[in-house]
Structure 1
Amino acid sequence: MELLGLTTLALVVSVTCLSLLSVWMKMSTGGRLPPGPTPLPIIGNILQLNLKNIPASLSKLAQEYGPVYTLYFGSWPTVVLHGYDAVKEALLNQGDEFLERGPLPVIADNQKGCGLIFSKGERWKLLRRFSLMTLRNFGMGKRSLEERVQEEARCLVEELQKTEAQPFDPTFILACAPCNVICSILFNDRFQYNDKTFLNLMDLLNKNFHQLNSIWCQEKHNLKSDFDLENLASCGSNLFTAGTETTSTTLRFGLLLLLKYPEVQAKVQEELDRVIGRHQAPSMKDKMRLPYTDAVLHEIQRYITLLPSSLPHAVVRDTKFRHYVIPKGTAVFPLLSSILLDQKEFPNPEKFDPGHFLDKNGCFKKTDYFVPFSLGKRSCLGESLARMELFLFFTTILQKFSLKSLVEPRDLDIKPVATGFINLPPPYKLCLVPR
């Protein structure tokens, strides 16, 4: 028994020493990483993070170690960028060096480096060009796309009217609308919300990009081509997932905030009635005449910080950044929440206040700190579509319905159910009363 105990102790000491040696080698080889909390063997700095609110933990560490510091997830270093200046300097000023996609283990096994969001290097550049070209060919940035979104907004209203002012969970319906827009763009068709094919598509997005077979049939004999079935299916899956879930979650969170703050809802509807009326369909040309509504949409996106840590980046080569040298391949976290919740730019950032985007005259106020779509070359590819969908869906719903909470507004919980990779609103029900 004594020998077994000594053997176990020796094993623990050996593993600890090897782990410390591994960390030291990563810290000393190929660069000089920014300072940060001392990592523990094997687990790194995981104990210093509140897993229920990782962005808040990262901001707290920034107060001690500055806007650029190193954190260890296991034995692997990650450089955290906190605040607008650090994120801008990396993603815009030195964008080519921070262009790589960092690891995200929960998705890596599924995506295998394929697709648009998680690919790297020349593959990513090629697929991004292809995706932009495809989306533009199918209407991105053109009036025809606005007409598609307006049509879907009308269909969304028809579906919402079927609730007959009874309590319902808006999750599914709000996800169908942006998904149908992507279907309309790529397949030139939309689906009824109860269509079996559409329901299968909602569940199996990553298996339904076979309609672009003609694109890769030019390429199937080119073994070096990135236009293979797996890559383009992943690319299509990325477009569906990013184009559906982010927009629908923002809408769902936005309606919850208006239930919580009925005075905001009333001001939006007053502006819509005065500028557009209740019968003319909202269009993007109306946006300039709706400063308060525009401010509310921006404040929703700022307040919910949908992707607090963005997606991880990585440096493509040994990179000099400020006073440090970040080794090639090191993961980088641009903390978007540190910008969207900046106290100097947005006084009382924890408070939902459309005034954050209004000047003293009530006009809409732009700010460089509005970064829900991230910054640089790896920012959201579908930003213009997402902005259009949010505006047209949001205004059309509020033009036709008043939102009614099932409980007193003060009793509504608006705290996200998860604060890590993505912020999700708590489940809720509401009634939509026709106006």
Structure 2
Amino acid sequence: MLGLSALLVALLISLFIVQFLKLQWACRRLPPGPTPLPIIGNMWVMDFKRQHETLIKLAQIYGNIFTLWMGPIPIIILNGFQTVKDGLTVHAEDVSGRPSTPFWQRVASGKGIIFTSGHTWKQQRRFGLMTLRNLGLGKKGLEHRVQEEACHLVEFFMQERGQPLDPSFPIVHSVSNVIAAVVFGHRFTIENKNFHQVIESYDYMVKFGSSVSEMLYDIFPWLMNHLPGPHQKVFYCHEFLRSFARNEIRNHRENGPPDEPQDFIDFYLAQIDKSKDDPTSTFDEDNMVQAIFDLFLAGTETTTTTLRWTVLDMVAHPDVQEKVQKELDAVLGPSQLICYEDRKKLPYTNAVIHEIQRYNSVVAVGVPRECIRGTVLQGFPIEKGTIIIPNLTSALLDPEQWETPRQFNPNHFLDKDGNFVNKDAFLAFSAGHRVCLGELLARTELFLFFSNLMRAFTFKLPEGVKEINTEAITWITLQPHPYKICAVPR
């Protein structure tokens, strides 16, 4: 019996050594990086609560392009503004794919916009961009929807009469209603229980993303499918969201096609009918349902989280808040409707919004890309199918690009005369072919929500509270800890 045990131990050690040597051989063709171990790869070096900071520290050792192994899979990390920008734009088409992990394959099934590649992604993304433009993106039509929700948010805060409140739900409700108007053609009241469940379901899925549970599912999907755990609740949430979307689609079909399409579903149903005889078409109800999921996920989470940081930053920097209010009072009338075009007359306010995005870096690392063909990044040959992760935070904190990268400083976006200045290193919306689909909508929302709130309120800590936690919680996005503030009417 002892001899059999010794034989098994020797066999396991031999297998470990063989796998270790195979990994070392594979590393020869890749950018440098920490030594990977069999099975776990480089997971032993990662602090998953502060991934972006770990990647910045590793770049100081191995250079701005390096390799990390997640289990048996090599991942190329791009770090620092120049490397991230070149990696995503110089060979933009080469790195335009999206890797398919077991979890997101189960959730998205190769449908929609965010988690697809190739023909499906190109057709769905092009249609999404065209539809947003047709619905008024960059024009007064869609801006009016944002202004309406900004007014609802101000009204909600006003009802609290300066008492302590958690601003999270009213903010996410208002931002979600912008997307609801785009997709469904109508808004939902704050009392609507189904819409509450929509918001809660997306929130749960975001918190599941990048968690240990998601990684375990990706490594052992066949096992996890038969085990209880948070992944099962995620699948329930996703199914609820799909059912919610299908119900809205069914209502649109029952009402019949309007004379002019009024929302995303109207445009998509018309496109399905238009392309029904095209064998290359990807327009069907499954893709429409997933595209709706993607629009809500991308259009709600990052903007909501940024606005939550916005309120927190104004409490933490009352001098900045006061300066923004003085500029708004000097340029705009107390009852004047604020338009996106007004940002050109409000350089300091505009600079503060950009600095909030830079300093808090809501999307810590970019959504992974995949090489759709062999390419060269920073002189390293990269094979087709290789996963690329751009560390967007490293560009927003690059000491070569920002005067005080680790400090909140609106002057990063102002010249010596106080004029607003765009910065190339501001990659909050990523870059290349996969740049954020709703970037212009997000910019519009951030400006209109922020300026309306700043004009109406001064944000302060509740009485007796001396300080507030400004550390981030890492999910798919970097979120602030729950907090309460007082929105004191001005």
- Shared topology, TM-score over 0.5? yes
SS at match of 2:156: helix
| Deviation sequence 1:156-182 (CA, Å, 0-9, x none) | 212222222221111111001111111
The SS at the match of 1:393 is helix
Tell me by how many angstroms 1:193 deviates: 1.4
Structure 1 position 209 matched with structure 2 position 245: yes
Q: Name the counterpart of 2:467.
A: 411
Alignment of 1:333-348 (within 5 A): 333-348=389-404
Whether contact under 8 Å (1:103, 1:331) holds in the other structure is no
Q: Which residue of 1 aligns with 2:324?
A: 268
CA deviation profile, 1:330-371 (whole Å, cap 9, x unmatched): 001111111100112212211111111111111112110111
Match of 1:175 in 2: 172
Find the residue that maps to 2:165 and give its secondary structure: coil
Q: Matches of 1:102 and 1:309 in 2, distance apart?
A: 15
The answer as to whether partners of 2:87 and 2:378 remain within 8 angstroms in 1 is: no
Cα pair 1:318 1:328 within 8 Å, conserved:
yes
- Greater CA drift, 404-413 or 234-243: 404-413
Q: Which residue of 1 aligns with 2:134?
A: 137
Secondary structure in 2 aligned to 1:377? helix
Is the CA contact (8 Å cut-off) linking 1:23 and 1:76 kept in structure 2? no
| More deviation, 44-53/2-11 | 2-11
Is the partner of 1:40 in helix, strand or coil? coil
Q: CA deviation at 1:2?
A: 0.9
- RMSD over aligned CA atoms reads 2.1
> For residues 124-170 of structure 1, what are the alpha-carbon distances to aligned partners after superposition, in whole Å with 9 as ceiling and x for unaligned?
10111111122122111221111111111111212222222221111
* Aligned counterpart, 1:3: 3
TM-score (norm 2): 0.83
Q: Is the 8 A contact 1:261 1:409 kept in 2?
A: no
User: Which position in structure 1 is the counterpart of 2:446?
Assistant: 390
Structure with the higher fraction of residues in helix conformation: 2
Rate the CA distance shift 1:36–1:103 in 2: closer, same or farther, 3 A.
Answer: farther
Tell me how far apart the structure 1 counterparts of residues 274 and 469 of structure 2 sit (CA, whole Å): 53
The answer to whether residue 408 in structure 2 is matched with residue 372 in structure 1 is no
Q: Tell me if structure 2 keeps the 8 A contact 1:103–1:312.
A: no
Q: 2:94 aligns with which of 97, 101, 107?
A: 97
Residue type at the aligned position of 2:184 = F
Name the aligned partner's letter for residue 89 of structure 2.
L
Q: Say whether residues 1:425 and 2:443 are aligned partners.
A: no
Please give the alpha-carbon distance, in whole angstroms, between the structure 1 residues aligned to 2:104 and 2:157.
34
| Structure 2: distance between partners of 1:398 and 1:148 | 19
Give 1:380 shift: 0.2
Partner of 1:285: 341
The whole-number CA distance in structure 2 between the counterparts of 1:225 and 1:182 is 25
Aligned counterpart for 1:154 among listed residues 151, 156, 163: 151
- How far residue 194 of structure 1 moved from its aligned partner, in angstroms, is 1.2
CA separation of 1:205/1:290 partners in 2, compared to 1, >3 Å: closer, same or farther?
farther
Query: Quick one: distance in 2 between partners of 1:207 and 1:126?
Result: 24
Q: Is the 8 A contact 1:219 1:228 kept in 2?
A: no
SS at match of 2:313: helix
Deviations 1:372-403 (A, max 9, x none): 00001101000000000000011111111111
1:250 aligns with 2:247: no
Query: Which shifted more, 333-342 or 204-213?
Result: 204-213
CA change 1:205–1:135 in 2 (3 A) is: farther
> Cα–Cα, structure 1 residues 222 and 15, in superposed 2: closer, same or farther, change >3 Å?
farther
**2:351 corresponds to which residue?**
295
Decide which moves more: 189-198 or 102-111: 102-111
Superposed displacement of residue 220, structure 1: 6.9
Tell me the TM-score normalized by structure 1. 0.93
* CA separation of 1:223 and 1:18: change in aligned 2, threshold 3 A: farther
Classify 1:106/1:57 alpha carbon distance in 2 versus 1 (closer, same or farther; 3 Å).
Answer: farther
Cα–Cα, structure 1 residues 58 and 364, in superposed 2: closer, same or farther, change >3 Å? same
What SS does the aligned partner of 1:114 have?
Answer: coil
Q: Which residue of 1 aligns with 2:373?
A: 317
Match of 2:229 in 1: none
Deviations 1:221-248 (A, max 9, x none): 8786422332221111010111111111
Equivalent pair of 2:183/2:292 in contact (CA under 8 Å): no
When residues 181 and 11 of structure 1 are mapped into structure 2, their CA distance, relative to the original with a 3 A threshold, is: same
Aligned to 1:19: 19
* Structure 2 counterpart of 1:424, one-letter code: Q
In 2, the alpha carbon distance for the partners of 1:231 and 1:124 equals 10
The answer to whether the aligner puts 1:78 opposite 2:134 as a matched pair is no
Question: Could you report, residue by residue, the CA deviation over 1:105-132 in whole angstroms, capped at 9, with x for unpaired residues?
Answer: 5534312322111101111101111111
**What is the rounded CA distance, in whole Å, between the counterparts of 1:95 and 1:380 in structure 2?**
14
What is the DSSP-based 3-state SS (H/G/I as helix, E as strand, rest coil) of the residue aligned with 2:77?
strand
Deviation at 1:86, TM superposition (A): 1.3
Contact in 2 for aligned 1:22/1:75 (Cα 8 Å):
no
Which amino acid in 2 is paired with 1:250? T
For the 8 Å contact 1:19–1:75, the answer to whether it is kept is: no
How many pairs were matched up?
Answer: 431
CA contact (8 A) 1:313 1:331 kept: yes
Measure the CA separation in 2 of the matches of 1:198 and 1:412.
30
- Unpaired runs of 5+ residues, structure 2, are 202-239, 250-264
Deviates more, 1:5-14 or 1:215-224: 215-224
Aligned pairs for 1:186-225 (under 5 A) are: 186-202=183-199, 203=201, 204-210=240-246, 211=249, 212=265, 213=269, 215-216=271-272, 225=281
